[in-house]
Structure 1
């Protein structure tokens, strides 16, 4: 009798399970979204543990408004002694490993996995490795970025904002790495511009010396605009490099050498690669007339390394736009909060801080951000303003300083900018 009762109980349980599964199936037909479970990814950033929840690849931090997309890639900071073969042996889902930024004391690498489903698993595994210092998903921030000059009244937007987010293009094409051996012998001061694309066929750039150009998205030696929205880089380049030929647009430093780097989105991996290319190409100054919505630790690490070890220890000047939100910059808010960067706000023609300009302890100086005519794609001209213009002007001032005083350290440069 007991056996029969137990068998009946089992049958009842099986029937309940089948009914629940059938009910779930019916619900999924009527409400497809109900069958989609939340995706959770956790990682560290500045020694704080973050948990992001999302659906269909779009994530949001529980404690903030930052939205981002991830793919099947992990960005790791590792000791130089960690070999790629060691990483490959950690998990069978590792497809490829790419170098992003190589410093003396650490390397940043990108690990591509077979599927985003394995992100949490591999991040947990990497965080336990004694030679891994940090592991994060490769992140594409979806919030509007600030620092450009599209419309100050609506907060200016940055490189990746202008072109929008490409949902389909969630992987980095594996093309040829930059061949830095083709560079000519070093001449003058080298200024790298990281922006959304450069129309270097413009007549105002006829005499511009271009040491190197690179596209971090396509991984090709071509930094030209790829989309109609890729227009900001051409204008920044005009402020610095337009010929002094008697036309209304005249560059601040046409005698300097340009390193043009197209970075059309905010994938962490592509940002790190952009800085690596600038360093390898011999940049003395790196102009970034933008900032992201949220500062990620890998970007801070790389800017710190450039500022402390670049130019044979004198420091590469990495210039960021403070942004146009009219707010005080909190620590670790975004790139304009980086202590080692040279952060530039905007002032008016009368010399007072512009109301729209961000400000705070991390801001090193304020330059004129009033509307100014510059070069535009397809041989045209367009106005530019805001902190992105001010940052470009600061890069020009720094380049002129280094042309006559190459021995100046980053501390000397910052002191000069604060008193400018």
Structure 2
């Protein structure tokens, strides 16, 4: 393979073929020319200012394995010809202005691992063929205008680890038409602000790997099952802003474990142990948003110490967590030597899910860098110093409590959630994306 400024070429039978494109800003829709690139396997045009409609001709790129056109200004419908891209593994059309309904031909993409169509204006009913995507591990259809409820075929997506349908306020319907127990790999489920009605189905309590469940800002009714609190991996449960009723039969240990990662407020007819949650609030640790409102982004100025200056303004303790918010980037935890070189072939930790949460589990120094080529060198890196515990010798588990630190300069307390997609594409695909 030869790489010429974002264009990768492979030699086959004595001829050079373009196999991947990853180029800078293009302020016109030149996608129609891609029909001549029959051997193209990867097309990445992130945040290029592309306008216009997606051409039907792109459906002829039958060797495509990755199609990433997120963060542009594309509008119109998703062409039905995309159903011919049967080798596709990653399809990301997020953060555009796409509208209309999803083509039923998307169900032909049976090799697909990641589908991200979030932050568009897509509408109408979800096609039942979407349930044919049995290899899909991540599906984000959030922030659109879908309607007609969740289709039953979703229960056939048995490989799914992360499902985000939130902020589709017109979707409506209820949750009882889906056999949730079939989705045993599901770890992250966000169904908030969807206009859902009815009760929370008992089958959701069978999701043994579920870490995050967001059902807030709907019109759900009935009394939630006590078994929700017994899910072995649950670390965040949000039920607020619904019409739930009755008494929550959750254990004291559940409230102590969840803290502010459990929410059931603004359910007028529900009763739960709010006083117990308040009495244990002093046991919660802080979660800091890296960079404050700006998030984890490439510094716009030449201030290469921007993140270290931010870190120096905050006080980090053992078991505090740090939250990285970003788009089309990544977070690596590396050694001191790798931090200085701005490179790591085998990082201690890697995540590229856009909302990474990392727990500072020991005292000492933690070294963070961006995984995007050139970003670390230009200042997107940070060292966090975690203080030694103040009490010595250690107290017993019953006595050991930690007071939440005061909020300083962008440090806010939030729910500590770890999305399951952190490692999924680290080796296979996203490593290529940031070369």
TM-score, length of structure 1 as denominator length: 0.26
Q: Which has the higher contact order (CA 8 A, sep 6+)?
A: 1
Structure with more of its chain in helix, by fraction: 1
